[in-house]
Structure 1
Amino acid sequence: MSHCIGLLSIAAKFSLLVFLLSAVFLCSSLSDRNPEFALTKTEESDLKEENGKESVTEDDADAEDLEVFYPTNWWQTVHPVPGPFHQAGRKCLDGDKLLFKSIFILGQAIPAGLHVRLNLQTGEKEAKLPDSTNEKSDMKDQKKRKRLDKVDIDSNSFTSQELKEALAKLKENEKTKSTMEVKANLEDVRKRFRPIEELKAEFERLNMRIETDYEIMVKLINKFNSSDSMLDEKIAALYDLEYYVHQVDNAKDFLSLGGLQLMINALNSTEAVMKEHAAFVLGAALSSNPKVQIEAIEGGALQKLLVILATEQPLAVKKKALFALSSMLRHFPYAQQQFLKLGGLQVLRNLFKEKGMEALYVRVVTLLYDLIMEKMLLEGAQNNEDQMEEKVQQYSQVKLVPAVVEQGWCAIVSNLLALPEHDTREKVLKTVSVLMAFCKDRYRGDQHLNITLSMLRSEYEELAAEEQREGDKDGYFKELLGSINTIIQELR
Structure 2
Amino acid sequence: MSHWASILSTAAKVNLLILVVSAVFSWSSLSDRVPEFALTKLEESDIKDDSRKEPITEDDADPEDLEVFYPTHQWQTIRPGQAVPAGSHVRLNLQTGDREAKLPDSENGKSDTREERRKRLGKVDVDSNAFTSQELKKVLAKMKESEKAERKAHEEEVRKKFRPIEQLKEEFEKLNVKMETDYEIMVKLIGKFNSSASTLDEKVAALYDLEYYVHQVDNAKDFLSMGGLQLMINGLNSTEAVLKEHAAFVLGAALSSNPKVQIEAIEGGALQKLLVILATEQPLAVKKKALFALSSMLRHFPYAQQQFLKLGGLQVLRSLFRQKGVETLHVRVVTLLYDLIVEKMLLEDSQHGDQMEEKIQQYRQVKLVPAVVEQDWCVVVSNLLAMPEHDTREKVLKTVGVLMAFCKERYRGDQALSTTLSLLRSEYEELAAEEQREGDKDGYFKELLGSVNTIIQELR
Work out whether 1:260 is the aligned partner of 2:229. yes
Say if 1:196 and 1:471 are closer, same or farther in 2 by CA, change over 3 A.
farther
User: Hey, what does 2:180 align to over in structure 1?
Assistant: 211
Deviation at 1:200, TM superposition (A): 3.9
Any residues of structure 2 matched to 1:200-349 within 5 Å, and which? Answer: 200-203=172-175, 209-349=178-318
Deviation at 1:140, TM superposition (A): 3.6
Deviations 1:113-146 (A, max 9, x none): xxxxxxxxxxxxxxxxxxx9x9xx9434459xxx
Alignment match of 1:455 (pick from 399, 420, 423): 423
- Check conservation: 1:200, 1:210, Cα contact below 8 A: no
Deviations 1:234-279 (A, max 9, x none): 1111011001000000000000000000000010011100100000
- Check conservation: 1:224, 1:234, Cα contact below 8 A: yes
User: Hey, what does 1:161 align to over in structure 2?
Assistant: none
Percent pairwise identity: 82
Any residues of structure 2 matched to 1:59-138 within 5 Å, and which? Answer: 138=93
- Structure 1 residue matching 2:321: 3-state secondary structure: helix
Larger Rg: 1
Alignment match of 2:322 (pick from 353, 371, 375): 353
Alignment match of 2:406 (pick from 438, 456, 476): 438
Deviations 1:342-371 (A, max 9, x none): 000000000000001011010000000000
Distance 1:281 1:138 in 2: 78
Any residues of structure 2 matched to 1:155-170 within 5 Å, and which? Answer: none
Deviation at 1:229, TM superposition (A): 1.1
Any residues of structure 2 matched to 1:420-439 within 5 Å, and which? Answer: 420-439=388-407
Work out whether 1:479 is the aligned partner of 2:447. yes
Deviations 1:47-104 (A, max 9, x none): xxxxxxxxxxxxxxxxxxxxxxxxxxxxxxxxxxxxxxxxxxxxxxxxxxxxxxxxxx
User: Hey, what does 1:416 align to over in structure 2?
Assistant: 384
Distance 1:448 1:278 in 2: 41
Distance 1:142 1:410 in 2: 91
Say if 1:257 and 1:454 are closer, same or farther in 2 by CA, change over 3 A.
same
User: Hey, what does 2:94 align to over in structure 1?
Assistant: 139
- Structure 2 residue matching 1:313: 3-state secondary structure: coil
Q: What letter matches 2:456 in structure 1?
A: I
TM-score, reference length from structure 2: 0.65
Distance 1:358 1:225 in 2: 34
Any residues of structure 2 matched to 1:1-80 within 5 Å, and which? Answer: none
Distance 1:332 1:250 in 2: 20
Deviations 1:166-204 (A, max 9, x none): xxxxxxxxxxxxxxxxxxxxxxxxx9xx99955444548
* Consecutive unaligned residues in structure 2, runs of 5 or more: 1-74, 78-91, 99-161
Deviation at 1:230, TM superposition (A): 1.3
Say if 1:203 and 1:462 are closer, same or farther in 2 by CA, change over 3 A.
same
- Check conservation: 1:246, 1:285, Cα contact below 8 A: yes
Deviation at 1:386, TM superposition (A): 1.8
Distance 1:489 1:300 in 2: 46
- Structure 2 residue matching 1:453: 3-state secondary structure: helix
- Check conservation: 1:333, 1:394, Cα contact below 8 A: yes
Distance 1:317 1:196 in 2: 50
Deviations 1:452-490 (A, max 9, x none): 000000000010011011111000000000000000000
Work out whether 1:401 is the aligned partner of 2:369. yes
- Structure 2 residue matching 1:353: 3-state secondary structure: coil
- Structure 1 residue matching 2:94: 3-state secondary structure: helix
Q: What letter matches 1:262 in structure 2?
A: L
Deviation at 1:389, TM superposition (A): 1.1
Distance 1:460 1:488 in 2: 14
Distance 2:96 2:294 in 1: 82
Q: What letter matches 1:433 in structure 2?
A: G
Q: What letter matches 1:139 in structure 2?
A: L
- Check conservation: 1:200, 1:209, Cα contact below 8 A: no
Distance 1:141 1:318 in 2: 89
Deviations 1:14-43 (A, max 9, x none): xxxxxxxxxxxxxxxxxxxxxxxxxxxxxx
Q: What letter matches 1:381 in structure 2?
A: S
TM-score, reference length from structure 1: 0.60
Q: What letter matches 1:312 in structure 2?
A: E
Distance 1:452 1:275 in 2: 39
Alignment match of 1:371 (pick from 335, 340, 349): 340
Say if 1:199 and 1:392 are closer, same or farther in 2 by CA, change over 3 A.
farther
Say if 1:437 and 1:141 are closer, same or farther in 2 by CA, change over 3 A.
farther
- Structure 2 residue matching 1:139: 3-state secondary structure: coil
